[in-house]
Each structure stands twice: as C-alpha cells, then as structure tokens.
Amino acid sequence: MPASVILPLILLVLILGSGAWVGLGLVGIGVVSLEIFRSMPVEKLLAQAMWNGLSSPELLALPLFIMMAELLYRSRFIDGLFEALEPWLRYLPGGLLHINIVGCTLFALISGSSAATTSSVGRITINELRDRGYDEQLTYGTLAGAGTLGFLIPPSIVMIIYGVLSQTSVLKLFAAGLVPGLLLALCFMGFVMIMAVLKPEKFGTAEATDENIWRTRFTRLPKLLPFMALMTAILGSMYSGIASPTEAAAVAVVATVGIMAIEGSLSITALSAAAIGTSRTVSMLGLIIAAASFLSVAMGFLGMPQAIERYIESLDLAPLMLILLLIVIYVVLGSFLEGMSIIVITIPIALPLVLNAGYDQVWFGVFLILMVELAQISPPVGMNLFVLQGLARKPLNQIVRAALPFFLIMLSFVILLALVPSLVTWLPNLLLG
Amino acid sequence: MINAMDRFTRCLSLLSGVALGAVAVFIVLEIVLRNLFGISLHFLWELGVFVHMSAVFLGLAWTLRTGGHIRVTLLKSVLPRGAEWLGLGLGFVMSLYVSSALVQLCWSYFKSGRTSGSITDTPLVYPSAIIAFGACLLSLQILMRAVCLLRNQPEELDPST
C-alpha cells in the first residue's frame, strides 16, 4: 500500500491516541497528510469542506432531536413510563428486569440518543431494582445492552448522520432500524428469561400483594399517554407525509414542551438547562461532523478509499467473509474510538466495499449502527459504560463484565443480519418502495 | 478574565440553544401554515441551517470548558499531566488552523459579496463571520485551559454550573 494511505492511518492512532479532542484531531490528520503528499491550498479546502459538511438541511434534525431528549430528561416522562410498565412486566420470568429492556425500547422510539436512553431509564430503575433484590450485574447489563437501542430504533441521531454522509434516505433508514431493533430487544428479553430459569436467586422476589393486578394495570395505563402522544407526533407526522424527518424533530420539540407544561415540569430553569445541554451536544457532534467531512475529502484526494478497496478486493473474499472481516475491524475500532467517530471515519472506505459485495446501502446503515452500538459498550471507550458508571457509581470493570453477555448477543445478532439481510430491508421496501 | 470568559461563553451556549428552540417553533408553524393554508415559508430552511451552523461554533468554547468534547483518554489514564499538555498543544495548533481557515473564508465572502443564491439571497459573510468568531473563541478557550493548568485550577467546570 502507498505511503499516502499508511501515514494517515498511523496519524489517526497517534493523534487521537495522544488525547487530542476528536473533532480537532480529525482535522489534524487530514491537514498533515495533505500538506505532505499533495500540493494544494489546504486551508481553503478545510474551510469549504467544514462549511459544506454542516450546511445540509437534513442535518437540522440532529439538534432538534437532541433538544427533545434534553427536555424529556428534565420532565417526569420516564417516571410515568416506569409506573405504567411495572404491573405488566412484574410476573414475567425475569420480572422487573424487563423494565430496563422495554423501557429503553419505548424510550428509543422517541429519543435518538443511546446515552439519553440509558441515563433516562437507568436513573429510575437502578435504585428501584436494587431495592427489590435484583442482581446488580444483570441490572447494569440489561441497561447497557438495551440502552444502545436508542441508536437503532427510529428516530436515531446516528442514522441521520449516516444518511447525510452516505446520501441515503433517512426515512428508509428509520424504517429499516425498526424490525432489527425490536428483534434485538426480544433477544435481550429471552436472555433474561433464560437466566431467570437458571438462576432464580438473582431475580429478587415478586412482591406478595393483595391488590387486583389487572385493575392496577389498567388504572396506570393513562400514564403512557405522554409517550403515545409523542410517538404519534413523531412517527405519525413522518410516515403520514405531513412532515419530513427534520420537521418531525421540530414537532417533537414542541410536543415535549407541551407535555412538560401539562405535567407541570415546565420552568425557565428546565428550559435554559435543556438549551445549554443541547448546545453542548450539538457543538461536540457538529465539530466532529465538520471535521469528518474534511477528512473524507482529504482521504479522497489521497486516494485512500480506492487503495484500501483494491487491497481488500485482491483478497477475493466472499461477501459474508468481508462482513466478518469488517465486524472484527469495527470491534477493534470500537474499543478505542467513540461510535460517532467510527461512522464518519469509515464510511468513505467501507461503504463502496460493501456495495460491491452486493449488500444494500440501507442494510449497511443498520449494520454500521449495530457496530456503533457495540462500540458503546466496548471498553475502554464506551459511552454507555461511562453513563452507567456515573449512574451506578461502581468500578468500570464491573460494568464491563455486566455488559459482556449483551455484547455477545448483539454480535451474534449482527451475524444473523448478514445471513438474512431481508430482516433489515423488508420494512423499508414495503413502506417506501 | 477566566470568569468573564466563562460567563460570556455560557451566554453564547444558551443563546445557541434558544435559537435552535426558536427554529423548532417556526418549523412547526410552517407545517401548520403549509398543510392548512398552503403557505410555505421557504426562507425557514436556510435560516435553520445557518442557525445550526452558528450554534455548533458558538457553543464550542463552553462545551470545551465543561468537558463536552470527546477524546480518547487511554494515554491520560496512564500519564494524566503529560497527556493533558500533549492533547492541549495539538488541539490548540489545530484550533488555530481551523480559525485561520474560517476567517479567510469569511473574508473571501466579504470581498466577493457572495450570497446564498436562494430567494432571500442572504450574504454569506454573516453566517461565516459567526462561525469564524466561534472557532476563534475555541482557540482562546484552549489557551485559558492552559492557564488553568499552570495555576493548578480545575480545567473543566461542572456542566450544570
């Protein structure tokens, strides 16, 4: 392979490994590589690529979904969700541990962020489950695994970024994530049920109450109304054709403020905290996206995607072997890079390879999201692990051990999707052609 | 100086969030007007994109100050002080480079009088000036971080401050 391909890869490890902020580090890799190997006005290219990278109207959905998550975090929304689900899940094998999975799945249906999903659900359930005698490891594990569904189940912030960078329909991606997301949630629930049969001592004891459980179930159902309203506003407006994904994000923000006003949690303090929280996340992501846009252009000038493509083609791998190779690469990358960085760095290289192997662009989007989800719970740099560590106040290695079974379930699930790609492509083809 | 900078960058971060919230309200208004009365506010999309770009850059400094920018912390866990200085140095050089590039872009838009080319024909010098300003503030914030490190003051604030 030429030096113009190897040097940027070495720089990637050196600069990001040095502890430079990822957004600025990506700029550094591109600038140094171009200055060494190409004679061109790099500053002009950098400014224009950063400008173009952020000027896509589809990208506007990103800050709006982030704002919705920030607002929800400051509302009583999750408390209501917990109270409504609890009587329905109490008597399943595995009992209230399913609340982590179902709660995260439902929250993922309205939130696009994995960290927001994990922290919002975990904030309520960790103490509750501990008090009821559930095994801490399983509590953290279910939260770590199911929390990642925030990326896979629409609306998803990561899908929007992938859609914009790869020029794939965001609406199709949203539809494609739904079936795998729900199936993965069912896999997690199945694992919990098996564990409940094998190790019942880890699952606390069901409370003996003389209450009428069916009455409780139905009297608490109205607490799901805010969730239903928000889901209808987001998914209904998108799939009915009234609003685009970006407009649906705006509807979600306004609907969330409305819900907060009705439940009495709306205040200037909550709004300003949500505004600053939104700005922080938007700035962090925006800088990475802008820098990645530049790096992507720089890699194009260096001929890197073509060189790697030629190299992997020379290996003459069968499509499934290529996917297995990519899984190994992504798992390694995921252990030291944050999920968002993985997406923006690898799209220009991996997407053409996968398309040449006969896989669909939408399928690859879901595959990539699942790999990012794995990165979220891969040590030492896993955002969900950090979120859980902050919530549980336990050593990171304990959280990592707890997440391991769910990591393996997700890994097996990715292989299943490679074997049966229609699990991903069926729904978008049915809905959108 | 550091306190004044903190107050200023926090205000900019708040302003960014509020502006994004306002964009959400206007987009919903546009959906209602379009679906009920057939009126479309075309300029909103362009405005929304410029607000988003501005929000990204105006929030950069406060995000850095509150530890919001992600980084690989492997080296930092082994060599806390050395890795902080190394990351800070590289970050500062790159931030200066980005600031310089964006200032030049703004200057070129000013000289050429280039506009967005849409119905509103917005002069691109305005949004580009905001993002260049945000990038320069980030460089200044990295310098402030170095000052904090030299004085043994905490280099990051709690985000809820």
Query: What integer best gives the mean pLDDT of chain A?
Result: 86
Q: According to the model, what pLDDT value does residue A116 have?
A: 73
Q: Which of residues 59-88 of B touch A (CB under 8 A)?
A: 59-60, 62-64, 66, 68-77, 83-84, 86-87
Q: According to the model, what pLDDT value does residue A254 have?
A: 94
Choose, out of A45, A55, A276, the residue to mutate when testing the contact with B (most B CBs < 10 Å).
Answer: A276
Name the residue among B110, B129, B69, B100 with its Cα closest to residue A340.
B69
Judge: A283–B98 Cβ closer than 8 Å, yes or no: no
Q: According to the model, what pLDDT value does residue B104 have?
A: 96
pLDDT exceeds cutoff 60 at A345: yes
Contact in structure between B70 and A7 (CB atoms under 8 Å) = no
pLDDT exceeds cutoff 90 at A118: no
Q: According to the model, what pLDDT value does residue A329 have?
A: 87
Instruction: Indicate the pLDDT class of residue B50, thresholds 50, 70 and 90.
Output: very high
Q: According to the model, what pLDDT value does residue A336 have?
A: 63
Question: A137: which residues sit within 8 A by CB, 6+ positions away?
Answer: A398, A401, A402
For residue A237, what is the nearest residue in chain B, using CA coordinates? B31
Question: A118: which residues sit within 8 A by CB, 6+ positions away?
Answer: A104, A143, A144, A147, A148, A150, A384, A387, A388, A391
Instruction: Using only the alpha carbons of chain B, give its radius of gyration.
Output: 19
Q: What is the DSSP string of A229-262?
A: HHHIIIIIHHHTTSS-HHHHHHHHHHHHHHHHHH
pLDDT exceeds cutoff 90 at B105: yes
Q: Write the residue in B55, B72, B131 that is nearest to A279 by C-beta.
A: B55
ipTM for the complex?
0.95
Q: Write the residue in A24, A43, A251 that is nearest to B91 by C-beta.
A: A24
Judge: A27–B69 Cβ closer than 8 Å, yes or no: no
Q: According to the model, what pLDDT value does residue A380 have?
A: 61
**Pairwise pLDDT comparison (A187 vs A333), residue with the higher score:** A187
Judge: A276–B62 Cβ closer than 8 Å, yes or no: yes
